Amino acid sequence: MIVNIQILRALAALMVVFVHCAILVAPIGIPLHVVESFASGVDLFFVISGFIIVQTTQKQPITPWSFMLNRIARVVPLYWLLTILTFAIALFFPNVLGGTKAVFSYLFKSLFFIPYVREDGSIRPILFLGWSLNYEMFFYVIFALGLFLQSPLRRAIAVGASILGLVVIGQLSGHNMSAEAYIWTGPIMIEFVMGVAIGTFYAQLPASRQAALVGLVLAPLFLVMLILSSWLLPDMATIIRAPAAAGLLICALLMERGGLAIKSRPLVLLGDASYALYLTHPFVAQGITKFAVDLHILNSATSILFVIAIYALACTVAVLVFKYVERPLTRATRRAFGISRQLVPVRGL
């Protein structure tokens, strides 16, 4: 296990949590566009995902079918459980979730990662954070097709060229395209390509204390670039976030290879639970936010306290869900698929 990767995954999830604290931090003067810039944690997730998939498939031969079964067992069970829970809330308590409607066709498309346009014009599934999984699963399909090529280098080139080609087609097509085409040709897909490239050439990265120190110095700069790009340079944010996330990943890898692994057990555990944190934290954040607003106790004095409460409770819930829901569900699904062992020792998104 690459410890620093787990730390980055924890960091990425914690960044996304802050996005859903927007109402709570408004009383202390933090603008919405600043809070939303922390959504770039998803960009970091995507680059990490490309890296992990390459690294794990290089170590042992695997068929495209086995790869997809492994990915389904990893991603689908918890996502389906929370999607169905969200649908049930929207069905029986329609006023609670606002724009989320209990439409059965939406449920079907959400469960099978088919993008669709909501009534408000957004392209999001019932469990709205699942929008990122629509990209993730499409990347898995492309990578699975790449597994027909035995050479890791040729596979990486084919996967990268396919994704880049789709992005170019999307950019040339303009805005008149279906929801599926809009998602599957989105520029954010390039972040998977960057992760694939880093994973392919990982063994060539220097493994020295000097390189690790360079990574330690540059990592905060890439992190600041990743976060600030969205609100300082909004017109160039997409162009900046991808290399910033890739640079942060390279720094973490250089540090690990040079002996500077961040061996914090709580952070590693949170990295393990980052998928659960990513999917479950909106329930916590929205619950605490509604509590504070409805009781009229949200002000500049209580704002930070509520944010701390969200982080504490969301992390606790995530760890519990990871240990007692996600992990058992994943194991049960693997057994049902006849998968004897886990393909991915370092967990992807």
Is the per-residue pLDDT at 276 higher than 80?
yes
Number of C-beta neighbours around residue 94 at 10 A: 12
Return the residue matching tokens 């690790």.
212
**Does 223 map to a domain?**
yes
Q: Which two tokens stand for residue 134?
A: 């629509």
349 is a domain residue: no
Domain count, the chain: 1
Q: What is the distance between the alpha carbons of residues 113 and 131, in angstroms, rounded to a whole number?
A: 8
Domain presence at residue 191: yes
pLDDT tens readout for residues 108-133: 999 999 999 988 888 999 999 999 99
Say how far apart CA 183 and CA 131 lie, in whole Å: 9
Q: How confident is the model at residue 234 (pLDDT cuts 50, 70, 90)?
A: low
Length of the chain: 349
pLDDT attached to residue 231: 73
Residue 348 covered by a domain: no
The pTM assigned to this predicted structure is: 0.94
Q: Is the pLDDT of residue 93 over 90?
A: no
What Cα–Cα distance (Å) separates residue 152 from each residue in 58, 159, 280, 314? Answer: 7, 10, 35, 39
The answer to whether residue 207 sits within a structural domain is yes
Confidence of residue 347 (pLDDT cuts 50, 70, 90): very low
For residue 29, which amino acid is it? G
- 304 in Cβ contact with 30 (< 8 Å): no
CB 125 within 8 A of CB 109: yes
- Give domain status of residue 345, yes or no: no
Domain for residue 114, yes or no?
Answer: yes
343 located within any domain: no
What tokens appear for 211 in the block? 């390189």
Domain that holds residue 124: 3-337
- Average pLDDT of the chain, as a whole number: 92
